[in-house]
Amino acid sequence: MADRKAAWVTALAFFIVDQLTKWIVIGPLRLQERFQIELLPIFNLTWTENRGISLGMAQADSDLGRWLLVGGTAIIAGLVGWWITREKQRGDQLALAMVLGGALGNIVDRIRFGYVVDFLDLHFGDFRPFLVFNVADAAISIGVVILLLRALLVRPEAKEERIENV
């Protein structure tokens, strides 16, 4: 378990940063009332209530839908947590931790508010390479990309074969 401590700390750190940034935009910045704050010509804080899953798919417009998304996401988070306990590669552990921390942050939002608070809005004029997102979404996406890249590009070290003379 000690060798996985960094993964658990990473998951907790992403969860805390996600919830802290959401607290800032809801509380002190009151973004929900203001709707949008322009920070840079290519970056705004824009209030969005995401009632669906990734890319706004599977909208949960009812309490049943909301709790099904909470339950489904909780199951996935549990599986990712279990995977962390089984994974031997440190890079994969940390990528999984990013996914776990992000999933937990979005679960908390859905339980508290009935939707996920999204507010990070990167744009180039009218072109938006991403939908409005949050720290949890970024952690999940980056974690998944790292896992995919490691699976495709990192070769496991070949084990030495022992040849015994008979």
- Residues with catalytic roles: 118, 137
Question: Cα 147 to the chain's mean position, in Å?
Answer: 13
Q: What angle do CA 50, 54, 57 make, to 5 degrees?
A: 75
Question: CA-CA distance, 23 to 15, in Å (whole number)?
Answer: 12
Question: CA-CA distance, 19 to 135, in Å (whole number)?
Answer: 9
Question: CA-CA distance, 38 to 42, in Å (whole number)?
Answer: 9
Question: CA-CA distance, 36 to 132, in Å (whole number)?
Answer: 11
Characterize the bridge pairing of strands 36-40 and 116-122. unpaired
Q: What is the DSSP letter of 126?
A: T
Q: Residue 146: is it exposed, middle or buried by C-beta count within 10 angstroms (0-12/13-18/19+)?
A: middle
